[in-house]
Structure 1
Amino acid sequence: MLKPILIQINPLDNVAIVVNDHGLEKQTVIEEYQLTLVDDVPQGHKVLLKALKKDEAIIRYGEIIGYANADLEAGRWVNESVTRMPEAPELDKLELATRPAQPLESLTGFTFKGYKNKDGSVGTKNILGITTSVNCVEGIVDYVVKIIERELLSKYPNVDGVVGLNHLYGCGVAIDAPAAIVPIRTIHNLALNPNFGGEIMVVSLGCEKMQPERLLNMTAENKRIALADEDIIQLQDERHHGFESMVAHILTVAEQHLEKLNQRQRETVDASHLVVGMQCGGSDAFSGVTSNPAVGFATDLIVRCGGTVMFSEVTEVRDGIHLLTPRAANEDVAKDLIREMQWYDDYLTAGKVDRSANTTPGNKKGGLNNIVEKAMGSIAKSGTSSIVEVLSPGQRPSKKGLIFAATPSSDFICGTQQMASGITVQVFTTGRGTPYGLAAVPVIKMASRNNIANRWYDLIDISAGDIAVGKKTIEDVGWELFEMILRVASGEQQTWSDRWGIHNSLAVFNPAPVT
């Protein structure tokens, strides 16, 4: 039998998690802690290191993640049934930019091979994106995409693929509601993702509330999209006589853009052009110990190269916000963080739920008792740099460095919103496993533990599991991930989701009313 292994993250912690693959049985003696288990404890779940009285704090990551709801003896399995969740940090009592990180030492000499765009951005793929103004046209766009993939792409060897930017918005919605800015801005900015090379075409029905002109001509913070009339295809146009006429029209315009995209070639560019999104899904208790800290180390490396990293998922940041506002580059950035937390608090309250609704059955099975514990592990993806900018959902950044891009925690919505904010590579950590992928942006999936990486060997790209058993350090895996990001960005390594063509549908966040 393997030696019992526990991980205590912080000396202040009064719990530690079980590392052993099949958990530990009752009466197991852990000599390191002079402890005997009084329960069977599954892998990843917490063991109480010292006795607690009712209402005393349960501490992990050096932070309070809950309170005992009864007297608990040392060696107990600390799960949801014996834990009471603490209140969220009060937003009006936070430190603002009191401890901005010192600038990290610059890293030079790191490059990748990407596609340069006229606006100065660099893509990691070369894809034709077909924007849709309303969900009504999705079926026809999907039909055309299949024709392009089957009959046309072979003529354009430098084009990686074609993607229909479909969504569930555009009509039957309160188009003038204040919150409608979120989906409209998101769809607008999706078309501007660097991986589409500035070649934009729009398929419209014609009668929808979100007319193409409204979609394209955003104001102030967003870039206007100037298109020739022929780049906007309206299916209700009188020129169309039947389905095949519509298909032929879309194909004609698509070929014009494919010809331009095919002229693009990968060029060696500095790593400062990286724009990487960090996300987690199917998290477990190892996520905050192995994969997310390794991602945080890679985040710092990218920032040191002058690149951009976005972390997101408001609900999975909310309980760690007191650790983030001091890291803001200035008070305005800290206040922007608070603004996004408050907006989401109000959004959840209007729906008569709170942040506790976030934690999934899989999270709990993986050892995460509540959203507080989950958030403490989630924010590790942000590394140690100062936060230089905060984006509302779907906004594009104006700065480089570490950015908080506010999104819901849903894997699919977060991925879509980060894509609208301009990521060209995404890193997705998981403890429970997921086949998640994006068609337009390569997604590197990192496992938090080796047993899921070994079982899902042809879905998981990299594992941080060796950190848990002491075979590698966080820094070792962070460097491995950073180097993999450069290879994937260069087209030199294909992610498993791209190899299999496993790509999730876009899920545009719409907090506005549907009429």
Structure 2
Amino acid sequence: MATASNASTPRAVATLQTIRLHVDDNVVIARRQLISGTRLDEEGVLLSGMIPTGHKLAVRDIAIGEPVRRYGQIIGFASQAIRTGQHVHVHNLAMGSFDRDAAAVACLDAKPIVPAEQPARFMGIVRADGRVATRNYIGILTSVNCSATVARAIADQFRRDVRPQALADYPNIDGVVALTHGAGCAVDADGEGLRVLRRTLAGYALHPNFAAVLVIGLGCETNQIAGWIEAQGLQPSTTLQTFTIQESGGTALAVQRGVDAVRGLLPDANRVERQPVAASHLMVGLQCGGSDSYSGMTANPALGAAMDRLVRHGGTAILSETPEIYGAEHLLTRRAQSRVVAGKLLDRIRWWERYCERMGADMNNNPSAGNKAGGLTTILEKSLGAVAKGGSSNLVDVVEYAQPVPAGGLVFMDTPGYDPVSATGQVAGGANLICFTTGRGSAYGCAPAPSMKLATNTALWQRQCADMDINCGGIVDGEVSVDAMGEQIFRQILRIASGEKTKSELHGYGQNEFVPWQLGAIT
């Protein structure tokens, strides 16, 4: 039985042709496409076969069943004998069980947080109750899929791209958005699925980035609005209004009722002014999608460096996507601030193992076709790169999907790896900004929280810069350090939180990316 290494944080050493991430690694990464017969002087290796950009190659013979190491950690086992200089990928690398000692190493690396000497600030919107927003939207939520059409029809009346004059008198309002979903009925009225949906909707209804919210139902659904209000301890008010299509007299009258309601909310919603506030009010959801082999070497560790800064300034970082930390959970339990926190994380890992077994799925199914084309193989390799987004701060708590996130420090929220579902849970938990790394070029945005996109490589940046906010490819190009890029990302976060638009906002992303996690049987 192999045991995971407890090596320190890997540091990339870039040469002309390859990248070595750790002295113990038996593979290195190709910086560009390499052809058979190429000699790697830095490793003393002669290539046998073509190696695509970002893919792995063996720097010594690896016997069948022997661990393959990247980042100084096990990413899988040789499914056939691998010779020095050969391509290492899905054809000769497979999953295998091994002891990661996640419980045994709990809290070993936890350390006191040293607060920043000069607290950072951004220009935020302070609500009457003291909550701080990074954006100022009016939201339209639905209790059930059946009211989605009405909700969208109402929001469409205020779209700046279709009706430029609709909000011309309200420059301080970022928009009117309809966030619809495909659930809310034909579910157990007392089941987990409805509880999670209601918790998610409540998190959005109370989100500080919404100046006001309308909640629209059909009227006969399982997810009754009155029941939702009671279950979540909400109070209807001028800024949380509800109605149903059936009680309004049908579709047309419900649309008109909603349009009138929004028009009545606009003047008050527009009466906001940004003011300097501490960065401790920032709660950043961390996402990676369309990952490639560079994700764990550039954008993810750089984002982690930015989050370490945020935590030192009193802010909150939310790491999620439980299937995408699978195999790297020991790196998080090592810096859990208590064994209770470590145990909560391992409980969620075990839940996912049982869930996949019950559904006839495999945790190693998570790497997508695009991930593999970008050089990733097993979920172990993907997870070791993904967990770098969390930086090196202590893990202070673990919460379930869409639960309110406690402020201050690195918190883990249990979510699926599917980005829209995961980010929806983070925003419901309180995230007022999303940072999203991508190596393949994911198309994603989020309302009401702005989503900042980080490219993992320069080729992607050059090809798709209209969708990306920052290029982290300079790290592997040897132009900038991970720490310096982390500082750049942190400063960009402050600017975006202050109102600077992200590329996804300029493209109009956000309304279709609201995807609550659907759990339980549909009957």
Task: Please indicate, yes or no, whether the TM-score normalized by the shorter chain is above 0.5.
Answer: yes
- Mapped partners of 2:103, 2:479: distance in 1: 41
Give the secondary structure class of the aligned counterpart of 1:209.
Answer: coil
Q: 1:393 is matched by which residue type in structure 2?
A: Y
Aligned to 2:491: 483
**Alpha-carbon shift at residue 162 of structure 1 (Å):** 0.9
* Residues 430 and 107 (structure 1), Cα distance of their counterparts in 2 relative to 1, 3 Å cut: farther
- Residue 271 (str. 1) matches residue 283 (str. 2): no
Q: Report how far residue 92 of structure 1 moved.
A: 8.0
Write the deviation string for residues 120-173 of structure 1: whole angstroms up to 9, x where unpaired. Answer: 321111000112111101111111111122353223221110111211121122
Alignment of 1:180-259 (within 5 A): 180-197=194-211, 199-219=212-232, 224-227=234-237, 231-237=241-247, 240=249, 242-259=250-267
CA contact (8 A) 2:115 2:314 kept: no
**1:170 — aligned with what?**
184
Distance of 1:81 and 1:329 partners within structure 2: 40
The offset of 1:179, in angstroms, is 4.2
SS of the residue 2:334 aligns to: helix
**Matching residue within 24, 42, 58 for 1:12:** 24
Q: Kindly indicate whether the alpha-carbon contact (under 8 Å) linking 1:104 and 1:385 is maintained by their aligned counterparts in 2.
A: no
Task: Quote the residue 1:59 is aligned against.
Answer: 69
* 1:116 partnered with 2:130: no
The 2-side partners of 1:189 and 1:236 are apart by 25
Query: Secondary structure at 2:386's aligned position in 1?
Result: helix
C-alpha distance in structure 1 between counterparts of 2:95 and 2:239, whole Å: 56
- State the distance in 2 between where 1:202 and 1:426 align: 24
Structure 1 residue 214: Cα displacement: 1.9
Q: Does the residue aligned with 2:158 lie in a helix, a strand or coil?
A: helix
CA shift for structure 1 position 94: 4.1
In the alignment, the residues of structure 2 paired with residue 217 and residue 95 of structure 1 have an alpha-carbon distance, to the nearest angstrom, of 43
Given that residues 103 and 333 in structure 2 are in contact (C-alpha distance below 8 angstroms), is that contact kept between their aligned partners in structure 1? no
- What is the distance in 1 between the residues matched to 2:228 and 2:325? 31
**Cα distance per residue 1:196-255 (max 9 Å; x no partner):** 03x232111111111112222335xxx534436992112111x53x54322221122222
1:313 aligns with 2:326: no
- Residues 318-356 of structure 1, C-alpha deviations (whole Å, 9 max, x = no match): 211111112111121111111221222222111111211
Question: Greater CA deviation, 274-283 or 154-163?
Answer: 154-163
Determine which of 318, 322, 331 is the counterpart of 1:323: 331
Deviation at 1:505, TM superposition (A): 3.0
Partner Cα distance (1:119, 1:274) in 2: 16
SS at match of 2:197: helix
Q: CA deviation at 1:396?
A: 0.7
Q: Which amino acid aligns with 1:46?
A: K
SS of the residue 2:286 aligns to:
strand
Partner residue, 1:500:
507
- Is 1:409 the equivalent of 2:417? yes
Which aligned pairs between 1:326-405 and structure 2 lie closer than 5 A? 326-405=334-413
Indicate the larger mover: 432-441 or 170-179.
170-179
Aligned-partner Cα distance in 1 for 2:492–2:274: 17
- CA distance 1:91–1:351, shift in 2 (3 Å): farther
1:98–1:442: structure 2 CA closer, same or farther, 3 Å change rule?
same
Given that residues 111 and 268 in structure 1 are in contact (C-alpha distance below 8 angstroms), is that contact kept between their aligned partners in structure 2? yes
Higher mean C-alpha deviation, range 337-346 or range 125-134 = 337-346
Q: Secondary structure at the match of 1:115?
A: strand
Confirm whether residue 147 of structure 1 aligns to residue 160 of structure 2.
no
Relative to 1, partners in 2 of residues 1:234 and 1:390: Cα closer, same or farther, differing over 3 Å?
same
- CA deviation after TM superposition for structure 1 residue 365, in Å: 0.6
Unaligned residue ranges in structure 1 (runs of 5+): none
Q: Which one has a larger percent helix, Structure 1 or Structure 2?
A: 1
Q: Return 130-139 or 246-255, whichever deviates more.
A: 246-255
Moved more, 61-70 or 306-315: 61-70
1:432-451 equivalences in 2 (<5 Å): 432-451=440-459
Unmatched runs of 5 consecutive residues or more in structure 2? 1-13
Q: Distance in 2 between the 1:206 and 1:84 partners?
A: 51
Partner in structure 2 of residue 261 of structure 1 = 269
Give the secondary structure class of the aligned counterpart of 2:167: helix
Secondary structure in 1 aligned to 2:68? strand
Counterpart in the other structure of 2:41: 31
Contact 2:15 2:42 in 1 (8 A): no
Moved more, 135-144 or 154-163: 154-163
> Partner amino acid for 1:200?
V
Per-residue CA distance 1:91-115 (angstroms, 9 max, x = gap) = 8854332331331342524111111
CA distance in 2, matches of 1:3, 1:481: 25
Q: Provide TM-score, normalisation by structure 2.
A: 0.93
3-state DSSP class of the match of 1:24?
coil
Q: How big is the shift at 1:415? A: 1.6
Match of 2:474, SS?
A: helix
Inter-partner Cα distance in structure 2 for 1:273 and 1:396: 14
Equivalent residue number for residue 281 of structure 1: 289
Residues 154 and 109 from structure 1, CA distance in 2 versus in 1: closer, same or farther, beyond 3 angstroms?
A: same
| Alpha-carbon spacing, 1:100–1:36, altered in 2? closer, same or farther (3 Å) | same
2-structure distance, mates of 1:451, 1:165: 34
Distance 2:239 2:136 in 1: 24
User: What is the one-letter code of the residue matched to 2:205?
Assistant: A
Instruction: Say if 1:118 and 1:405 are closer, same or farther in 2 by CA, change over 3 A.
Output: farther
Change (3 A) 1:332 1:367: same
Identity rate, percent? 34
- AA matched with 2:503: W
Letter matched to residue 394 of structure 1? A
Change in 2 beyond 3 A, CA 1:78/1:495: same
- Equivalent AA in structure 1 for residue 431 of structure 2: I
Give the Cα–Cα distance (whole angstroms) in 1 for the partners of residues 76 and 107 of structure 2: 27
Q: Is the 8 A contact 2:205 2:240 kept in 1?
A: no
CA RMSD of aligned residues (A): 1.9
Shift of 1:88: 6.4
Q: In 1, distance between residues paired with 2:437 and 2:94? A: 27
Residue 126 of structure 1: which of 127, 136, 145 is its match? 136
